[in-house]
Amino acid sequence: MKVSICFIGTGKYLNFLPKYYENIHEYFLPNSEKKFLVFTDGDGDYPEDILSFPHEHIEWPYITLKRFEIIQRAKKEIESTDWFVFIDADALVVDTITEEEFFDDSKDYFGVHHPCHFLNMPPHNQQFGAFETNKRSTAAVSDTDDLSIYFQGCLWGGKSSKIMTLIEELDRRVNEDLEKDVIAQWHDESHLNKFFIENKDDVNVLGPQFAYPEMFGDYCDFEPKIVHLSKNNSKYHV
């Protein structure tokens, strides 16, 4: 099986790539052929399985909001694989993750249950939680939507034959919002959640252990598979 893995890292975030790459090779999908799609403003002499796409740094929140637009540059490479996996630059695979536990062939897409939603932490313990409620945004939810799962934008993907539908549609919605001077509260994550609500029967929900928040580790009663690294004093020393 062929899997494309997307890394977006500009500025200091490129520093995460060596450990990110090393740990994915050590722990992630051991029986698959992996290809890394790296979008960065840095230079490097990369291994053959890293395809580098030059990308200038843009200011927050656009560097995250516009990721669907950024990723489309690798459409041809994505469509040459079986699965597409987006993993945040500051997320680190720390335990073995097999194809059987990660993929569900009956579902077109996958996302990870946000650990803070799983733990019922603020703002997830309030009405509508972190879901977008600004009706001017294409990411807005309604009180008739199924809001039982809130997905974190640090890990998502799907079958390569289907994932471009998600990427192209959410790029369109982001730009439609921007034309109205609207930015969803949680940027790309808000749009991802709206899409997954609309397509919930086609989404495989991965548990919060795949987005373990190092910053809130004391609150977690589950062991990490992928760690969302603390911005300060990470024990993983990336």
Percent of the chain with pLDDT over 70: 99
- pLDDT tens by residue, 94-115: 999 999 999 999 999 999 999 9
Which residue type is seen at 167? Answer: I
pLDDT the model gives residue 234: 84
- The candidate with the shortest Cα–Cα distance to 194, out of 209, 176, 179, 181, is 176
> Can you tell me whether residue 167 is helix, strand or coil?
helix
Residues paired with residue 202 on neighbouring β-strands, in sequence order = none
Percent of the chain with pLDDT over 90: 90
pLDDT at 46 over 70: yes
Confidence of residue 43 (pLDDT cuts 50, 70, 90): confident
What number of other Cβ atoms are within 10 A of residue 159's Cβ?
Answer: 18
2-228: in CATH 1.10.1740.10: no
- pLDDT tens by residue, 147-190: 999 999 999 999 999 999 999 999 999 999 999 999 999 999 99
Residue-averaged pLDDT of the chain:
95
Element (H, E) at 188: helix 187-198
pLDDT at 232 over 80: no
Cα–Cα distance, 45 to 226 (Å, whole number): 26
Residues paired with residue 218 on neighbouring β-strands, in sequence order = none
SS3 labels along 44-58: CCCCCCEEEEECCCC
pLDDT the model gives residue 131: 98
When pLDDT is averaged across residues 54-81 and rounded to a whole number, the result is: 95
Confidence of residue 238 (pLDDT cuts 50, 70, 90): low
